[in-house]
Structure 1
Amino acid sequence: MTESPGAWSTGCQECFSDISSCCLTTWCPCVAFGRIAEIVDKGSSSCFGIGALFLLLHCTRCGWIFNFFYRHKMREQYNLKGSNCGDFWLSCFCEYCAICQEYRELQNRGFDMSIGWDENVSRRTPGVAMAPKVEEGMKR
């Protein structure tokens, strides 16, 4: 049995409920988007690489297409209410609001967006220790 979709934790028009993510999305959308993509891709893409690609697309007025893809992927991954049509319109005409909502959603799900996927996973997984540092050279 498939679980019915859940609601987003915040609405897309609630940008001012979190001023820091609103400012980041407004002034540095490529950084916010790169962080979202790294979490949604579960670390298989880099924040820097995706952010740079988004910046390139954003400068050509095509960043919304990239955002549409990741918004859809995120909605499917977290079983959030919505539709492809809604994702399309929101990404196309309210790109900053969509990115800000996605950013807040991941924060509200417990992700620290500034540390990336790997660090979030290591902080969430109890009992997982980092490998000890291996020093080079022989020791007696």
Structure 2
Amino acid sequence: MYPAKPNEPAGVAPVTGVPVGGPPAAGQWSSGLFDCFDDCGLCCLTCWCPCITFGRIAEIVDRGASSCGTSGALYALLLSLTGCQWIYSCTYRAKMRAQFNLPDSPCCDCCVHFCCETCALCQQYKELKARGFDPDLGWHLNMERAAGSGAFYPPAAQQMGR
């Protein structure tokens, strides 16, 4: 229980912008692959419209370089024409793992997305939430929110040119 402050009900956790229990540990996923039912709304959205969840993830992982709509539309096109959308989405899991130094567990990214696409997308979405992003807002509004709160997001991984 949290001590009550004036004008706050007793036992309510203060809103700090940091997930309850603190930020995720380095090198670990904040939730398991099969914890998708912890958020039933996200689970239903991802089950029936995975292109929306994927588009939101892609915009944050790409740091605004691609829009939610464009990524989601390409995902939907691949799903409807080939059924191989999992190849596209697994590349974003790999990008996300590299950005946050996450393990490729329980198995490689392609296997996770081929066998458990919906669970993988839910896990990735929840990971972004646990790290302080709100995928519903998109990259630019997340950056405006971070600028207003003084939070800092590290730059995208860079490689040295030759």
Q: Are 1:58 and 2:59 matched, yes or no?
A: no
- Distance in 2 between the 1:34 and 1:82 partners? 21
Question: What's the TM-score once normalised by structure 2's chain length?
Answer: 0.72
Could you tell me which runs of 5 or more consecutive residues in structure 1 were left unpaired when the two chains were aligned: 129-140
The residue aligned with 1:82 is 104
2:60 equivalent among 34, 39, 43: 39
Q: Which has the higher helix share?
A: 1
Between the aligned partners of 1:22 and 1:30, the Cα distance in structure 2 is 13
Report the TM-score when normalising by structure 1: 0.83
By how many angstroms is 1:127 displaced? Answer: 7.6
Residue aligning to 1:21 = 42
Code of the aligned partner of 1:19? C
Q: Percent of aligned pairs with the same residue?
A: 53
CA offsets per residue over residues 50-100 of structure 1, 9 Å max, x none?
1000001112211000111000010001111116x5211101111111111
Q: How many residues align?
A: 124
Residue ranges of structure 2 left out of the alignment (5+ in a row)? 1-25, 151-162
Moved over 3 A (4+): none
How has the CA–CA distance of structure 1 residues 120 and 127 changed in structure 2, closer, same or farther, with 3 Å as cutoff?
Answer: closer
Match of 1:117 in 2: 139
- Counterpart AA for 2:34: Q
Among candidates 107, 113, 118, match of residue 91 of structure 1: 113
Please name the residue that 2:11 is paired with: none
- Output aligned runs, 1:94-105, within 5 Å: 94-105=116-127
The CA distance in 1 between the partners of 2:132 and 2:73, in whole Å, is 25
Give the whole-Å Cα distance in 2 for the aligned partners of 1:24 and 1:78: 25
